[in-house]
Structure 1
Amino acid sequence: MSTALRPSACPGLLRIVQALDGGICRIKLNGGAISADQADAVADAAERFASGAIEATNRANLQIRGIGEQSAALIDSLLAAGLGPRTAAGDDVRNLMLSPTAGIDRHMCVDTRALAEQILDTLQSHPRFHELSAKFAVQLDGGEALAMLEHPHDVWLSACERDGETLLAFGLAGCPTDPAVGAVALENGHALVVAVLELFLERARPEQTRIRHLLDELPMLAFLEQLSERLPVQAISDWQRTAATDALHIGVHPQNTNNRVYIGAVPPLGRLNPSMLRGAAQLARQFGDGSLRFTPWQSLLLVNVKTSAVAQVLEGLKPLNLLTEATEPLSRMIACTGSNGCSKGLADTKQDARLLATMMSQPQSVHLSGCPRSCAAAHCAPTTMLAVSPGHYDLYFRDAALPGFGALHARNLTIEAAATLLDARSRSPLDA
């Protein structure tokens, strides 16, 4: 496979991007899924050709960090495991997010996996779509209870029921919790994505790399009118998804098949080593369906586990340091690479997060970011600590009326001071 790629700051499988701790290779997983054998191949590649650091990303992909001079051998080993794109130019645009429980969720309206495969095939095989930005992203959910609904996407589609018919509501430059701008019949889902992308590429100037840039000057209604000339679009302005239930990606949850569950496990702060990944893969072979599903919460699921095997799986995850209880402080925290691996990081965020977890009396959802780019979180977390210097952070609380991290609450806090403040706030009846 040719590796002649356009320049980009985004790593891919075929494009190793340099960081302070070495090269980064991003492995895009179709729908977040990976077979146990492929997981072993990732573990082997990280161990043989890099530092051994493996990251679960907030788009349900994997990254290998600390790659040195053996980058070509690493890429070849991952391609041999079937983890690459169908064409080299198609790697950048394989940005389709599914629910981690697609096909098995008890609340889903439709199994989206076949449609997702069709969309991914088109993104990779149509040369025109290779012009899209490496950050251009599509989301598809089938109405599952476990779905990341807060990450902005260029195009999102969400299954819903209307008058006995299953439709795909959709929106542009936003999230499924925003009001939908229209809907199409289920069988037109693929055609909708193609039409939106073609219309965007026809109308956008080169510097307008995302749909939100085009919509800054082309009114939404005008875009929808042009879209309606290409396929039937229905009005569905009064529909939007409600936020997902918290912590469905952690622990044991029933599937839509009797006597089957999925088990969510969180690698602390999204970081795995080869032994952790191999161990999870072996549990998937022994007790699941031989696959793992990664999630936008930087965690993984073992799916299709018999209820009779739950205790054995949970016992097997413990020595791997994969967390399965939402009461464990590190299961609710996210942190970017930080100054240990990124030249832009102003603090060692992962080490600071571990310290913070030992100081708080109860688990809280906290995001530590080494700089304003917020690489670890594509959505606004309830609490964000933004590094200003080693061991010191500005503290923000999410506010729907404010952009970015939300409302600035305190400046230049030490980890100890942040822990004290967060504990006090969690006990306040005003914040219950």
Structure 2
Amino acid sequence: MNERLPVTAIRPSACPGLLRIVPALDGGICRIKLAGGVISADQARAVARAAARYAGGVIEATNRANLQIRGIGEQHAVLIGELLDAGLGPTTAAGDDVRNLMLSPSAGIDRQLLIDTRPLAEQILATLQTHARFHELSAKFAVQLDGGEALAMLEHPHDLWLSALLLGDQAYLAFGLAGCPANDLPLGAVPLAKGHALVVAVLELFLDLARPEQTRMRHLLAEVSTAEFLRQLAQRLGFEPAAVPSWQRSAAPGLLHIGTYPQRQPGRVYIGAVAPLGRLDASMLDGVARLASEFGDASLRLTPWQGLLLPNIRLEDAANVTAHLQHLGLLCDSADALAQLIACTGSAGCGKGLADTKADARTLALHLQGRPQGVHLSGCTRSCAAAHVAPATLLAVSPGHYDLYFRDATHPGFGRPHARNLTIEAAGVLLAARSRSNTDD
């Protein structure tokens, strides 16, 4: 996008965007929202250049399949300009905040998909950006669309989620509010052709019913019953959504975002890699972009597991590409303990962080080598690095000390408290011992 967008159109918010740089202890943060998580190799190189020239060179893969640059200094206007010139901006300045539509990283290429979600996603994203009413939505208000792929993040709560299913031989979209398909039954289903109309109707109804302080769907549904919302939704749609009371989205086993997997396209594979603790540097991102151009289709796909995919790699090139990714510092093996750890910015870059979670996570990984498991280290109760509840959570209480929680559906928040005020070394010993005696996640 060569035409510069008016920054004056950006509303105040604590959430960073491409046009809004938010300050942190380590400098400004710029968040680049990617349509469907996809970025071209040329655009990725532009991000790498901007991070190296105008910031500290730190690039983060987020849990919503976006990128953000940290440590931005005084030349933030030049950084924004270069990213806009690379085509990474919204179609309207006010539309930047609301480009919150998450797809499967393997949309269109997954062997198990029921529908290719990309055409509908393009339609939804265009409406989010150009429909002025939707610019009133919170920068955190989010929609998920999944096409039945084996590789899909099903645990992140969304204000509206849609998931493909077949009724007879016709494609439908099951949908739910203020939840996620892994944990919640759908409230109904609409034909695929009505998917865009459903999204528009849900969002307009939310804005009509919600008070200004009710920024998320869960806030509204605490006051307006789900039944009443659905009644009014059916009036707007002009039809009753189909009932699908016995259907629930099933998750594929394994960590399909790490490693090499066959695509629908014969002879092609995608290769998934994780950025260690969600962080890349400029040279890493530049290197991955060059691999995408040489061996793939000159595109990358970010994942909600704070990593990336290289799609459309020839099967015979997969081992070579994987070796190059590992040489760049990316993790391509789920057996690596660090590949299953999540950590927020922590006290090194965030004023709310009570511990240096990134450094502590690396220490923890040493204790868990050979016994990898999903652990989330959070510097405070906001849980910025993980939108879902991890199997185990270490919540910082002071530098180097954490409370430990295990996921438990009967306990809200992080789960069931297990131990208090542990050093990171003690937490490592406890978690390693638990992995030997407990196969639950």
TM category, shorter: over 0.9
Structure 2 residue 259 is the aligned partner of structure 1 residue 254: no
Q: Deviations over 1:175-229 (max 9, x none)?
A: 0121000110000000000000111111111111111111111111111111111
AA at the equivalent of 1:122? T
Task: Give the aligned partner of residue 311 of structure 2.
Answer: 303
Task: Give the aligned partner of residue 12 of structure 1.
Answer: 17
- Distance verdict in 2 for CA 1:128–1:327, change over 3 Å: same
CA RMSD of aligned residues (A): 1.0
Name which of 109, 118, 123 aligns with 2:123.
118
Task: Give the aligned partner of residue 233 of structure 2.
Answer: 227
Structure 2 residue 429 is the aligned partner of structure 1 residue 427: no
User: Matches of residues 20-169 of structure 1 in structure 2 within 5 Å?
Assistant: 20-169=25-174
Structure 2 residue 409 is the aligned partner of structure 1 residue 395: no
Q: Deviations over 1:8-38 (max 9, x none)?
A: 1100000000001000000000000000000
Task: Give the aligned partner of residue 356 of structure 1.
Answer: 364
Which runs of no fewer than 5 residues in structure 1 stay unpaired? none
**Percent pairwise identity:** 70
AA at the equivalent of 2:421? N
Task: Give the aligned partner of residue 181 of structure 1.
Answer: 187
AA at the equivalent of 1:136? F
State the alpha-carbon separation in 2 of the partners of residues 120 and 289 from structure 1: 23
State the alpha-carbon separation in 2 of the partners of residues 158 and 359 from structure 1: 38
Local SS of the residue matching 2:348? coil
TM-score by length of 2: 0.97
Local SS of the residue matching 1:404? coil
Q: Deviations over 1:142-185 (max 9, x none)?
A: 00011110111010000001111110000011101210001100
Shift of 1:360: 2.0
State the alpha-carbon separation in 2 of the partners of residues 429 and 283 from structure 1: 40
User: Matches of residues 366-381 of structure 1 in structure 2 within 5 Å?
Assistant: 366-381=375-390
Structure 2 residue 292 is the aligned partner of structure 1 residue 284: yes
Local SS of the residue matching 2:325? helix
Name which of 2, 7, 20 aligns with 2:6.
2
AA at the equivalent of 1:420? V
State the alpha-carbon separation in 1 of the partners of residues 14 and 254 from structure 2: 33
Task: Give the aligned partner of residue 213 of structure 2.
Answer: 207
State the alpha-carbon separation in 1 of the partners of residues 146 and 276 from structure 2: 26
Contact 1:25 1:65 in 2 (8 A): yes
Local SS of the residue matching 2:7? coil
TM-score by length of 1: 0.99
State the alpha-carbon separation in 2 of the partners of residues 132 and 393 from structure 1: 35
Contact 1:149 1:244 in 2 (8 A): no
AA at the equivalent of 1:68? G
Shift of 1:431: 4.4
Shift of 1:318: 1.8
State the alpha-carbon separation in 1 of the partners of residues 440 and 159 from structure 2: 33
Local SS of the residue matching 1:72? helix
Local SS of the residue matching 1:229? helix
Which runs of no fewer than 5 residues in structure 2 stay unpaired? none
Q: Deviations over 1:324-379 (max 9, x none)?
A: 00011111111000000000000000000001111224211111000000000000
